[in-house]
A and B are shown apart, each in its own frame.
Chain A
Amino acid sequence: MTDLPITTTTASDRARDIRAAVESRLKTRHASERRFKLYGQLAIAIALSFLVVLLGRIVTQGASTFVVHSISVQVPLDPARIDQTALEGVNYDIMVADAVLAKLGEKDDDYGTKSEAIKDLMSPDFGFQLLNMIKADSSLIGKTVTVSGPLRANADLYFKGEIKRSSPEEERTLSNQQLDWLDALKSSGAVKTGFNFGFFTKSDSTEPEQAGVLGAVVGSAMMLLVTAFLAVPIGVMAAVYLEEFAPKNSWTDVIEVNINNLAAVPSIVYGLLGLGLFINTLGVPRSSPLLGGLVLALMALPTVIIATRSSLKAVPPSIREAALGVGASRTQAVFHHVLPLAMPGVMTGSILALAHALGETAPLLMIGMVSFVPGVPHGFDQAATVLPVQVFIWENASERAFHERTAAAIMVLLVFMILMNAVAIIVRRRFERRW
C-alpha cells in the first residue's frame, strides 16, 4: 500500500479545487445531456411521422372501400325473353338494364346503345341473381322480382368523387349521359349509400364491387393454424432439448449458430425450399393452406426456438436446484417447473413469430399462392389465397376500383396483426410471474 503523495495544500484547499473543477465541467455536461435528449426526441418524432404518413396514406386510400353505393331494381321476368331450355344462356343483364331505363323514364333505341350504356353501370351480379332465382323457382317467370346490390365499380367511383364530371369526357370511363343517369338515380333516391358489408362477406372476384376479403382472411387463418401446430411444438421441444438436456459441446454450438443464422435467412429462400421439397418431392398440393403453412412453419421455427431458449434461460437456476434438491429428475424439473415458468415468454415469442408469418408474401408467391381464388377454401389441401397475397394481386389489377381495396385489405391485415400483438401482450401480462 502506498501513501498519498504529501502536498502543500490543506484538505479544505483540495476540496475547493475539486469543486471548482467539477463546476467548470458542469455546464458542458448539462449541455451534452440536453443535446442527447434532443436527439432522442428527434428520432422518435421522425419515426412517428413516418408511421403517421404510412398509416394516413393507407387509411385515406382505403377508407372509401367501406362505403358502397347500391341499388334495388324491379325486373319484370318477360317469358318471351327467357328460353327455359337454356336458362344459362339468357341475357339477364339486358333485362336488368331495361328495367333501370324504365325507372329513368327512358326507352332504348333500336341499336340497344342505351341499355348497353346502362349495363356498364350495373353489376353483372344482378344477372346472376336473376338466374339463381329462376333456377330455384321457375314459377317466377312472368312475374316481377327485385334484385339489389352494389352499383358497378365505375359508378361507385363517380359517387365517391374519384371520377369527376369536370374532366374531359373522352378521358373518363363514363360518358356524360351515364353521369346524368347516375345523378338522376341518386336524386330519385334509388341509389343508397351504406356500409360495405360485402367486403367482409365475399371473396375475391373479377368485378371490384363484388370483391371481398373473406376468402383471404379464412385462408390466412387456416395457414396460420398449420404454422402454429407445426412450429410451436417442434420449436419448443427443440429449444427445451438444446437448453436443458443437450451436452454443451461443439456440435451443439454448431447447431446453435445455424439456428441463429436461419432466423436471418431471407424469407424467399424458404419459398424456394418449399417449392423444391414440398411441391416437387412430397407432392403437397400447390397454393393450399397446408403448403403455405409448412413453408411458414419452417420460417417461424428458428424464431420460436430462439424465443423459447431465451425465456428458459431467464428462469432462475434456483428453481431448477429446488426441484432437483427434492429429488425431481431432470425431466420433471424441466416440465414441472422450468417450462411452465418460461411459458409466457414462449407464447409471446410464438405469437410474434406467427404475426410475422402472417404478413409474409415473398415465399408464398414462390410456391404459387398467387392464383385467383374466388371462394373460401374448404380444406387444407384446397387452393386458397391469403391476405398479403390478396393485397399483392389487387395492387397489380388494372381496374382503379381495386386500388382502394388494396389499401382496405392492408387495413384488415394490420388489424389482424394488432390483434395478435395485443394477445401477445395480454398473455405476457397475465401469466408473468415474479419470483
Chain B
Amino acid sequence: MTPNGSSFSRSVMPMNRDDSASHEAATASAATSGPSVKIRARDINVFYGEKQALFDVAIDIPEKSVTSFIGPSGCGKSTFLRCMNRMNDTIPICRVTGAIEMDGEDVNDRSIDPVVLRARVGMVFQKPNPFPKSIYENVAYGPRIHGLATGKDELDAIVESSLRRAGLWDEVSDRLLQPGTGLSGGQQQRLVIARAIAVGPEVILMDEPCSALDPIATAKIEELIDELREQFCIVIVTHSMAQAARVSQRTAFFHMGRLVESGATDEIFTNPRDSRTQDYITGRFG
C-alpha cells in the first residue's frame, strides 16, 4: 500500500522532491537570518486508512510570524495543520509518520501528552464552534481544566485579558454571562480565538478562520492576527490569495498532498518557482 503509493507518485512527479528539497534549503537559510524556527516538520506522511493524504512534507515554521498554507481543495492543508497539535489522533483510521519538532521536541513522542500539547498549540476551526455556554465559560473552560487560575479573581483576569487580546472585550464586557452562541459569526470566531489564547499557547493554528465571515468581520480577524503575531507563532489555512498576501510573512503552497513550494510571501506571490504555484495563484486552477 504505502510504498507503492509513494513510489508511484514519485515516479509521476519526479520534480516534486527536488523542488521541496531546494526550498527547504532556502527556508533554512532564511531561518538563520530571520526569526528562529518554532516548528520543524520532516518527512511527514499521513494515511487515512489505505489512502495517503500527505507525501513527505518538510517545512520550517518560524516563531512570531504568520505562515499561510494555500492550495486547492483536498490537497492536505487541514491534514497537515492537524498533525501539529495531534488532532489527527482522534481519527481512528488516520496514521502519521515522520517527525514534527516543536522547539526541538518531537510532538509525536510518547512522553508528550496530546492534552498538554493542545494547550501549547491552540486551534481555531473553519466554522466558529463556541460551546453552547456563556461567553465567560467559553473562555474560562481551558484555564479551568488546566488549573491555570487559583481563584475566581485570577480566572476573571485571564478571561478579560484573553477577550481583550481577541478584540472582543468592548463588545461583550456587559454580557459575559449570555450564551456564546448568541454572538454574530465574526464575534463567535473572535470568541473562539480568545478561548484558544486563554490557555497561553505558543502556536495558534487557524483552519480557514474567515471562510464563514463577511468582509468586515474578516478584516477584524485579519487585524487581530496581525496583532497576535507579536506574541505567537501563527499558521493559517486560507483559500483567499489576497488574505494570504495581507496577513502572512511566509506562504506554503500544497498540491495533491505535497508541499510544492514555501518561502517568503512576497516571493511566492511575485516570483513563484513552480509552474503549479504560478497557475494556482493566478487562478488558472484550484
Binding site for B on A (CB under 8 A): 247-248, 316, 318-329, 332, 336-337, 341, 433-435
Contact = CB atoms under 8 A, between A and B. Distances in A.
A319 B138 CA distance: 12
Interface string B188-202: 000010011011000
A328 B145 contact: yes
Contacts of A326: 118-119, 122, 141-142, 145, 195-196, 198-199
A324 B199 CA distance: 13
Contacts of B196: 325-326
B38 interface: no
Contacts of B283: none
B123 interface: yes
A435 B142 contact: no
A274 B129 CA distance: 47
Contact of B127 (A318, A325, A328, A434): A318
Interface in B100-129: 115-119, 122-123, 125, 127, 129
A135 B198 CA distance: 78
Contacts, number: 67
Contacts of A248: 92
A319 B125 CA distance: 11
21 contacts: A248-B92, A318-B125, A319-B132, A320-B90, A321-B129, A322-B131, A324-B90, A325-B87, A325-B123, A325-B125, A326-B119, A326-B196, A326-B198, A326-B199, A327-B115, A327-B145, A328-B141, A328-B145, A329-B115, A434-B132, A434-B181
Interface in B67-110: 85, 87, 90, 92
A130 B122 CA distance: 83
A247 to B, nearest CB: 7
The listed residue with most A CB atoms (<10 A of its CB), out of B92, B115, B146, B199, is: B115
A247 B92 contact: yes
Contact of A327 (B90, B92, B125, B199): B199
Interface residues of B, number: 27
A28 B87 CA distance: 55
Contact of B87 (A316, A319, A321): A321
B130 interface: yes
A435 B115 contact: no
B34 to A, nearest CB: 29
B131 to A, nearest CB: 6
A435 B87 contact: no
B145 A322 contact: no
A323 B118 CA distance: 10
Contact of B132 (A320, A324, A325, A341): A341
- Which label, helix, strand, loop or mixed, suits the secondary structure of the B interface? helix
A318 B129 contact: yes
A325 B92 contact: no
Nearest to A248: B92
Contacts of B198: 326
A325 B90 CA distance: 11
A264 B92 CA distance: 31
Nearest to A316: B129
Nearest to A320: B90
Contact of B125 (A321, A336, A341, A434): A321
B131 A325 contact: no
A348 B207 CA distance: 36
Interface centre among A318, A325, A332 (most CB of B within 10 A): A325
A319 B181 CA distance: 12
Contact of A322 (B92, B117, B119, B129): B129
A325 B206 CA distance: 11
B87 to A, nearest CB: 7
Given A325-B123, A326-B119, A326-B195, 11 more contacts: A247-B92, A318-B127, A322-B131, A323-B141, A324-B87, A325-B118, A325-B122, A326-B199, A327-B119, A328-B115, A328-B145
A251 B11 CA distance: 41
B147 to A, nearest CB: 11
Interface string B231-274: 00000000000000000000000000000000000000000000
Given A318-B127, A322-B130, A435-B181, A332 B122 contact: no
A328 B142 CA distance: 7
Nearest to A341: B132
Nearest to A433: B132
A319 B118 contact: no
B116 A327 contact: yes
Contacts of B127: 318
B123 to A, nearest CB: 4
